[in-house]
Amino acid sequence: MAGLGISAWFMVDQSRKIDNLELVLTSAVSTIDSLQQRVRATDENISAAGSDVSHALDFWESEVRKLWDISNKRNKNWIEQNQGAVKILRNDVAAVREAIKKETATLEKLIKQVAEHSRLLDDLNGSIDQMIRKQRDMQDQLNTLNRELASFKGSVEDRIGNNEEAIASMDQFRLFVSGRLEDITQKIGAGP
């Protein structure tokens, strides 16, 4: 009976753990979805920014050549400023690429965690299935013991009934013998 109670408690505890793991799994899936959306948005921004940067670079290089040809250093400051802007844009692209690498690493880590949680959930389900089988086996054993106990009880009740009848017969015989002894004693005491 105590084993059945422990099994029930263990199943409730395991059920709570499963619920908690499912919440963690749901949260992880939600985080992964969010990260995937962010990675897509970042990728689209990089693609757009990369195309814009490429066009801008082509344009400014063309303009620099024209100006160089026309004034040959007259607009040197302006050219240096544009080169600085190009350098800033290149640094921005590098920073965005680095951010994508970090987001990708985070996403891969979350995917590994989800896989681990899924494995743990499978293990837990296997443990619960095993506990259910053990509980069924214990219930079958308990039912068998109850049937044997009922049979034994019936047998004992029959024996008790037989013993009571035997004792009643012995009491009657004892009374009969006592009565006879008393009659004999009285006859002996009365004399011939």
The answer to whether the beta carbons of residues 104 and 40 sit under 8 Å apart is: no
Q: What is the structure's pLDDT at 22?
A: 75
Q: What is the structure's pLDDT at 133?
A: 94
Owner of token pair 């749901």 = 26
The reported pTM is: 0.35
Q: What is the structure's pLDDT at 147?
A: 92
Mean pLDDT of 182-188: 87
- Per-residue confidence band for 112, with pLDDT thresholds at 50, 70 and 90: very high
In sequence order, which ranges of the chain are alpha helices (DSSP H)?
2-71, 76-190
Q: What is the structure's pLDDT at 5?
A: 61
- Whether residue 139 has pLDDT greater than 90: yes
| Residue bearing the bigger pLDDT, 129 or 41 | 129
Question: What is the residue range of 36's domain?
Answer: 2-190
Across 89-98, 119-128, 135-144, least confident range: 89-98
Number of domains in the chain: 1
Cα separation, 49 vs 60, in Å, equals 16
Highest mean pLDDT (candidates 42-46, 61-65, 119-123): 119-123
Residue 160: CATH number of its domain:
1.10.287.1700
Average pLDDT, the chain: 80
Record the tokens describing residue 55, joined without a space: 């066009």
- Whether residue 141 has pLDDT greater than 90: yes
